[in-house]
Structure 1
Amino acid sequence: MQIENESQLRELYGYATGRAKDKLLYSLEPHAINFINHAPFLVLSTSSKEGKQDASPRGGHPGFVKVMNEKEIVIPDAKGNNRVDSISNIVETGTIGLLFLIPGIDETLRVNGTAYLSTDKAYLNLFTAEQNPPKACIVIRVEELFLHCAKAFMRSKLWDKNTQINRDDFPTIGQMLKDQLGSKETPESRDAMMKRYKKDL
């Protein structure tokens, strides 16, 4: 049966109770700030006016996301491929969802809110030490946040080195793109890709 409405959904799942219900917060507090300050990686989710969804990885040294106050955080828009999928959505709708990850920690921090793109020097100056300083920053107004439990990471064993595959047994992105695009060019090697990427870090 296809679930088509809220009542069917609740009949199947019920409602959150206890800590699952009560953990929702509306501004950053010391533990959330500490989590963000230690996170070198996040997934940024956005949506266009037409409802087209996008999820984009963002990374840097721990603390690359700046906490301005209990309601505002700033993410540098690091040098990329100029597709600007995520920031186009932000310009269109001003909504955002963030999932912060810390290597070795199975819990995650989820933050939802509104966002805009800014070239204000007050924000850009926060990132002048970067190898490639950003052209713009994503400024987020925090509306809600909560810690997410460890079960997904426990199931996946994401941080367990024993579950890591041999990279040589997995196709390079160069090979995958060659196949997907039907290109006749020799695929870029992993070493060449890494050297090219390092220039843009």
Structure 2
Amino acid sequence: MKIKNEAQLRELYGYPSGRAKNKVLKSLEKHAVNFIENSPFLVISTSSTDGKMDASPRGGNSGFVKVIDEQTIVIPDAKGNNRVDSISNIVETGRVGILFLIPGVDETLRINGSAYLSTDDTYLKLFTEELNPPKACVIISVEETFLHCAKAFMRSKLWDASSQIDRDSFPTMGQMLKDQLRSEDEPETREAMVKRYKKDL
């Protein structure tokens, strides 16, 4: 049966209760701040006015996202490939969802809120120590924040070394793009890709 409405959905799943219901906060507190300050990686989700979705990974040294106050965080828009999928969605709708991860920690931190792109020196100067300082920053006003349980990471064994595949058994990015684009060019090796990427880190 195709679930077509909220009533059918709730009949199947019921409603959250206890901590799952009450854990959503409207601002950052000490544990959320600590999580952000120890996180080197996040996924930012956005959508355009016409419903085009995007989920983009962002990374840096632990604490690369700056906490300004209990309602505000700043994400540097690090040098990339200029597709600007996420930030163009932010310019259009001003809405984001963020998932923060810490290697070795199965729990995650989720933040939802409004956002805008800024080139204000007040924010850019927070990242002047970066090898490639950002051209702009994403300023997020926190509306919801909560810790997400460990089940997905426990199921996937994401941080367990025994679950890692042999990287040499998996196609390189160069090979996958060659096949997808039906290119006649020689695929870029992993070593060449890493060398090229390091210039933009």
Equivalent pairs: percent with the same residue? Answer: 75
In 1, Cα distance between the equivalents of 2:140 and 2:22?
23
Structure 1 SS opposite 2:26: coil
**Is 1:27 matched up with 2:21?**
no
Q: What letter is aligned with 1:106?
A: D
Q: TM-score scaled by structure 1?
A: 1.00
Match of 1:116 in 2: 116
Q: Deviations over 1:27-67 (max 9, x none)?
A: 00000000000000000000000011100000000010000
Asked if 1:153 corresponds to 2:190, the answer is no
How far the C-alpha of 1:161 sits from its partner, in A, is: 0.2
In the TM superposition, 1:30-179 aligns within 5 A as 30-179=30-179
3-state SS of 2:130 partner: coil
**Superposed CA RMSD:** 0.3
Q: Which runs of 5+ in 1 are unaligned?
A: none
| Amino acid aligned to 1:178 | K
CA distance in 1, matches of 2:123, 2:145: 23
SS in 1 for 2:37: helix
Deviation of 1:5 (Å): 0.3
Matched, 1:187 2:174: no
* Alpha-carbon distance in structure 2 between the residues aligned to 1:25 and 1:4: 30
TM-score, normalisation: structure 2: 1.00
1:90 counterpart letter in structure 2: I
What displacement does 1:175 show? 0.1
Unpaired runs of at least 5, structure 2: none
* Cα distance in 1 for residues equivalent to 2:89 and 2:17: 34
What amino acid does structure 1 have at the position aligned with 2:172? T
Deviations 1:54-89, CA, capped at 9 Å, x for gaps: 000000000100000000000000000000000000
CA–CA distance in structure 1, aligned partners of residues 145 and 15 of structure 2: 18
What is the SS of the residue equivalent to 2:16? coil
Task: Quote how far apart the aligned CAs of 1:180 are.
Answer: 0.1
Cα separation, 2, equivalents of 1:91 and 1:5: 31
Match of 1:16 in 2: 16
1:93-151 Cα deviation digits (max 9, x unpaired): 00000000000000000000000000000000000000000000000000001000000
Question: How far is the alpha carbon of 1:166 from its aligned partner?
Answer: 0.5
Cα distance between partner residues in 1 of 2:198 and 2:165: 23
